[in-house]
Structure 1
């Protein structure tokens, strides 16, 4: 270990109590972005962050938007220029009755598995955001400066659809320019297994209504002769997959790539417990594409899911009607170079070609889609960061896929022309977006040390 990094890690350990005090203060701010009642709290969280960045010596600013403010700050002038993104807003806490404590009265809880930080935002994303800020604090305290130039970029609307994000990024392209973007809003593939995200699935949303009769019909008078939209929509959606779990939409797999052997080997040895993953949701086997492992199905294969299917009478008891309409909501998770617009076109053609006589379909025209994000892991910074994580956690870090979607990574590419590196320290059972959210104290502590090591390693890559 070099002479400039060792004292940084020592300070992180020594100052952990003060670091936790700062995090607890941050967690007490109920910055729920989706609720207008918390608008002032979101402003307070932004101002608190800007003050913290200023205390590090950064040129920090709370930037107004039509919604909640962005926070920007810059520090340093040498080495590679890194853009770090996080979000300070949090999810609503409803239903409050399912919380064991006040969501905005954070505390350290003793558990058999180790201490955890309890509170809304502890894992998503305030705790993760602060791992990076505190790593920078320790670097500056020990060395007087950072080993590279950092632009901080904190959002206040991530949990409410980010309506201000794209316009802000386009208007501030020069201020956001950097060599590489860093994001800390992800989890580790298994407890204690440090992970760098290598790919994120994209998303396509669609919704259609199948209409038959002009009104709901008496099933005694019209049962038999009349077209039943629920029966017909069921026939159509049953054709979306074959017996092996593959999607049957025309050209659906165009742009899907097989996982390279070296990445597959990392996944196979990453400590993922398939039985635990499945049993936790009451499953005994994976139900996706038969030829692929559970991790491949989750991270590297596209899906088409029926998210909602309804029509007819929904109340108690029986109402003997043939409904006039049936409805279906669909989402597709996309990988590789799949084109959401092409898939939408072919999905709609698939449905429309199977409509029976006297049925018609209407589509929701207001739903969007975004392609997958594949990280440029060939860059030297990625291997440098992987080695830094391996050194901190005393086991090999892995390039892991993610089944979810983080749109900001795509925006960094399309708007700013930046590659993104996603490193997070959450666990899958952190209950993000749910009651009793937590963040492992060890994860928080080692997350700070990890970022300190990564800054050192990336500055030399």
Structure 2
């Protein structure tokens, strides 16, 4: 096998690869809207036919929602499982699009050529980089490089309600891979590829503090009656100290420090805090003091107030002491932080802040742990070096401030680590009007996966 021959085939086949991507993008597979149920099924069937053209035994699997696409092919070497999703976000507001979102085309922009349309990045363009790499490999070598499982979901953009039950019901079929490959992330910057090895988990809480059994006249009761907005504000303010650290007892018990090697990689990325904040009209880093910007975004836990309400907020003025005040709080988790333990500690902390005559009700909670990949596995360094060979700058192991639940499910349900490699850019406008994917990302992404497959097999 010659990697150079595979890369040459990718280059020569790029126009046809673009045509295939545009054909998939023309299918309006919006998973959140029941009116598009048939279109989701059409996208799933399109992918089955495409995988079958590679010699993969592929089929749709029905769920209570949209179909899963599952494919298998035998081979020597490691068993790799690839995950992507074929569903897309709604396109509203349609009037903000510069073109029909389901009539994709390549456009010239000041930053270079881009593929414009819904799903260009998230996730049709990304998943097709892997499939096109497999196509070139098959055309050059006659077979795919190793045993593979393809797992393409149709409900990622609507919360993946069928995913966990499907994995649990088909555990024997999916429990054997050596590694899961996920293409739903991005580059660190336009010239620097990345493997995401840390994903923060999350806990969501909503609470309501109640004082009097009805709203009160502030002239008659102000000063003598407890005001739940005051109580809530005081409790929320107490969640952080003056150094930005979360004050909930035990909050940092399972939070690891960065390794020296990872810290060195991150420092070498040249992250510009001022430019990052300046892009949203800010200038001074907040949060946990004594930490770098990338640490705070990728590897440190957070506690954020996402919403707060109570009393009269309409036009004019109504002088009342409200009976209730409410807030929504989210925690981003790292390391081995346990979502249930964090939730329990938070609730105990809030209760400890309540004065007499006040009570609290916790209305909702849900959570998922962080995902930390085992980068000591030699496969990760092999993949990092392979990516470095394709892009101008060396690849880095990075974190992600957000949460990608599928990687956690693969770990907790299947016991397999995930390698998250993607080629999106920060300005690709995923979930927004005028979504795009740089043609360079699509082209180099295909070449990158060919290099990674070569390195892993």
> What is the TM-score of this pair, normalised by structure 2?
0.98
Q: CA deviation at 1:222?
A: 2.0
Task: Quote the Cα distance in structure 2 between the aligned partners of 1:433 and 1:175.
Answer: 32
**Which residue is 2:253 aligned to?**
254
Q: CA deviation at 1:271?
A: 4.2
Which runs of 4 or more aligned residues in structure 1 lie more than 4 Å from their structure 2 counterparts after TM superposition? none
**Which residue is 1:342 aligned to?**
341
Task: Quote the Cα distance in structure 2 between the aligned partners of 1:127 and 1:152.
Answer: 16
Task: Quote the Cα distance in structure 1 between the aligned partners of 2:17 and 2:95.
Answer: 30
In structure 1, list runs of 5 or more residues that go unmatched.
none
**Which residue is 1:111 aligned to?**
109
Counterpart contact for 1:85–1:182, Cα < 8 Å:
yes
Task: Quote the Cα distance in structure 2 between the aligned partners of 1:74 and 1:388.
Answer: 25
Task: Quote the Cα distance in structure 2 between the aligned partners of 1:315 and 1:139.
Answer: 63
Q: Which secondary structure does the structure 2 equivalent of 1:316 belong to?
A: coil
**Which residue is 2:133 aligned to?**
135
Task: Quote the Cα distance in structure 2 between the aligned partners of 1:237 and 1:453.
Answer: 49
Give yes or no for the alignment of 1:324 onto 2:323: yes
Counterpart contact for 2:60–2:70, Cα < 8 Å:
yes
Counterpart contact for 1:190–1:270, Cα < 8 Å:
no
Task: Quote the Cα distance in structure 2 between the aligned partners of 1:273 and 1:108.
Answer: 31
Q: CA deviation at 1:167?
A: 0.8
Counterpart contact for 1:304–1:331, Cα < 8 Å:
yes
Q: Give CA-to-partner distance per residue, 1:282-331, whole Å, 9 cap, x none.
A: 11122121110111000000000001100111222222222111101011
Counterpart contact for 1:186–1:426, Cα < 8 Å:
yes
Counterpart contact for 1:76–1:145, Cα < 8 Å:
no
**Which residue is 1:388 aligned to?**
386
**Which residue is 1:416 aligned to?**
414
Greater alpha carbon shift after TM alignment, 344-353 vs 72-81: 72-81
Task: Quote the Cα distance in structure 1 between the aligned partners of 2:133 and 2:147.
Answer: 14
Greater alpha carbon shift after TM alignment, 98-107 vs 377-386: 98-107
Cα distance, 1:318–1:98 mapped onto 2, change above 3 Å: farther
Task: Quote the Cα distance in structure 2 between the aligned partners of 1:277 and 1:148.
Answer: 41
Give yes or no for the alignment of 1:98 onto 2:96: yes
**Which residue is 1:232 aligned to?**
231
Q: CA deviation at 1:261?
A: 1.2
Q: CA deviation at 1:119?
A: 1.2
Q: CA deviation at 1:395?
A: 2.2
Q: CA deviation at 1:439?
A: 1.0
Q: CA deviation at 1:37?
A: 1.2
Q: CA deviation at 1:186?
A: 0.6
Greater alpha carbon shift after TM alignment, 167-176 vs 296-305: 167-176
**Which residue is 1:84 aligned to?**
82
Number of residue pairs aligned between Structure 1 and Structure 2 = 456
Q: Give CA-to-partner distance per residue, 1:129-156, whole Å, 9 cap, x none.
A: 0000000000001110112111100011
Task: Quote the Cα distance in structure 2 between the aligned partners of 1:117 and 1:319.
Answer: 53
Task: Identify which of 68, 71, 96 aligns with 1:70.
Answer: 68
Task: Quote the Cα distance in structure 2 between the aligned partners of 1:327 and 1:99.
Answer: 37
Task: Quote the Cα distance in structure 2 between the aligned partners of 1:179 and 1:435.
Answer: 38
Give yes or no for the alignment of 1:6 onto 2:1: no
Q: CA deviation at 1:224?
A: 2.0
Q: Give CA-to-partner distance per residue, 1:350-370, whole Å, 9 cap, x none.
A: 100110111110012x42111
Q: CA deviation at 1:219?
A: 1.9
Task: Quote the Cα distance in structure 2 between the aligned partners of 1:72 and 1:278.
Answer: 42
Counterpart contact for 1:123–1:438, Cα < 8 Å:
yes
Task: Quote the Cα distance in structure 2 between the aligned partners of 1:137 and 1:391.
Answer: 21
Greater alpha carbon shift after TM alignment, 442-451 vs 259-268: 259-268
Q: Which secondary structure does the structure 2 equivalent of 1:103 belong to?
A: coil
Greater alpha carbon shift after TM alignment, 349-358 vs 105-114: 105-114
Q: Which secondary structure does the structure 2 equivalent of 1:336 belong to?
A: coil
Counterpart contact for 2:196–2:397, Cα < 8 Å:
yes
Give yes or no for the alignment of 1:443 onto 2:444: no
**Which residue is 1:155 aligned to?**
153
Q: Which secondary structure does the structure 1 equivalent of 2:244 belong to?
A: coil
Q: Which secondary structure does the structure 2 equivalent of 1:252 belong to?
A: coil
Greater alpha carbon shift after TM alignment, 79-88 vs 274-283: 274-283
Give yes or no for the alignment of 1:36 onto 2:34: yes
**Which residue is 2:456 aligned to?**
458
Task: Quote the Cα distance in structure 1 between the aligned partners of 2:219 and 2:329.
Answer: 32
Give yes or no for the alignment of 1:15 onto 2:18: no
Task: Identify which of 150, 171, 174 aligns with 1:173.
Answer: 171
Task: Quote the Cα distance in structure 2 between the aligned partners of 1:215 and 1:188.
Answer: 53
Task: Quote the Cα distance in structure 1 between the aligned partners of 2:301 and 2:153.
Answer: 29
Q: Give CA-to-partner distance per residue, 1:108-132, whole Å, 9 cap, x none.
A: 1211111111111111111110000
**Which residue is 1:282 aligned to?**
281
Task: Quote the Cα distance in structure 2 between the aligned partners of 1:126 and 1:92.
Answer: 14
Q: Give CA-to-partner distance per residue, 1:239-272, whole Å, 9 cap, x none.
A: 0001111000010001101111111111111243
> What is the TM-score of this pair, normalised by structure 1?
0.97
**Which residue is 1:376 aligned to?**
374
Task: Quote the Cα distance in structure 2 between the aligned partners of 1:32 and 1:390.
Answer: 35
Q: Which secondary structure does the structure 2 equivalent of 1:74 belong to?
A: strand
Task: Quote the Cα distance in structure 1 between the aligned partners of 2:330 and 2:115.
Answer: 34
In structure 2, list runs of 5 or more residues that go unmatched.
none
For the aligned residue pairs, the C-alpha RMSD in angstroms reads 1.1
Task: Quote the Cα distance in structure 1 between the aligned partners of 2:6 and 2:160.
Answer: 35
